[in-house]
Structure 1
């Protein structure tokens, strides 16, 4: 089977994500906290692999997915509030907290591009203000759902060190609101800066799919 250039890039991304996953699981700060932090990435990875042949996304979407998975694997390994690089930034800039979680929620705004692609390819929605609005709404809903899950974890487990690490509030009572706000800003910026590039890549992917379907029918 001859692979096109995009398929090779996708395979490389999978290998990188797998390598970081293996590193992440080796002697993490705590295995229960690790499981809580990385489980969304593992589920996402399974879905991406299972649907690859049926719905192959653009390379931009797969790059974003890979970045977000790596982000969660790193956070799971150290816990979000103790990632060394952001501890260093905290000390250098004299900050009050380790902001890896805020950085992570901001980057999770990139997932808006993936949502945008699924909407364009699987729904009647076309490019325009409605696409922008619905994409932002779904991205914010996902960010809010994650905060609800974190809140439920405190109610189910009655607190504890693992749950505190999972929440990563670091004493900020408005942590959930900050996280959702950063995700919202990240989503808006992702759509503003990457939609044009995404349109170009999406057009190429749809042409590839069309040619593939035509070759099968022949």
Structure 2
């Protein structure tokens, strides 16, 4: 499971993926829907990028793990530009695929924020798995799997606490823009659940390889 070449340095393909991310950040910074909320989201981007670079140098990551991490950041950067709640994914699907996803699924809200939380568990599972391999090398793959799932659950909860802490210092309108709750009182619970499901899917899939 996850037995791939571990890189401790940055190769040409690492720099290429980082360049794509930086270009995406520049483009996303052009006229975001609400600049202050956009900046708050990008604080998270900067933090996660620092963590990725440090882990690449200190413990080493496979390129696939590095790439999936960057893919998550790209999705997050896109969502940040549109304040998560206003990503026009359904308009894009109607325009280019002639398919109304929201109508077909019976959704009455923008669901892109749910997708990002699902991707948090799905795309970052290999990264978290690598961390536990290094921190607790004597444990078995089954225990690492359980620890990653628990970590995704705990970190998702911590993120929701951070959102709440930030929101109480903002105006109601700013808080709604930042949180993207869209009137759903169970928004945080559903987000945490989807992140957990994403991690479980990734773990089960990779365990079969």
Task: Give the TM bin, normalised by the shorter chain.
Answer: 0.7 to 0.9
The residue aligned with 1:138 is: 151
What TM-score results when the alignment is normalised by the length of structure 2?
Answer: 0.83
More helix by share: 1
Secondary structure at the aligned position of 1:156 is classed as: coil
Note the C-alpha offset of 1:135.
1.1
Whole-angstrom CA distance in 1 between matches of 2:33 and 2:84: 10
1:86–1:99 CA contact under 8 A, matched in 2: no
Q: Could you tell which deviates more after superposition, 110-119 or 124-133?
A: 124-133
Whole-angstrom CA distance in 2 between matches of 1:125 and 1:136: 18
Secondary structure at the aligned position of 2:21 is classed as: helix
Whole-angstrom CA distance in 1 between matches of 2:74 and 2:119: 11
Q: Structure 1: any 5+ residue segments left out of the alignment?
A: 198-218
1:169–1:175 CA contact under 8 A, matched in 2: yes
The residue aligned with 1:204 is: none
Q: Does 1:43 align with 2:47?
A: yes
> Any residues of structure 2 matched to 1:115-134 within 5 Å, and which?
115-134=128-147
Aligned residues: 192
Alpha carbons of 1:165 and 1:92: their partners in 2 closer, same or farther (altered >3 Å)? Answer: farther
Note the C-alpha offset of 1:109.
0.5
What TM-score results when the alignment is normalised by the length of structure 1?
Answer: 0.80
The residue aligned with 1:64 is: 68
Q: Structure 2: any 5+ residue segments left out of the alignment?
A: 1-6, 94-100
RMSD: 2.1
Alpha carbons of 1:97 and 1:53: their partners in 2 closer, same or farther (altered >3 Å)? Answer: same
* Larger Rg computed on CA atoms: 1
Q: Does 1:85 align with 2:89?
A: yes
1:119–1:125 CA contact under 8 A, matched in 2: no
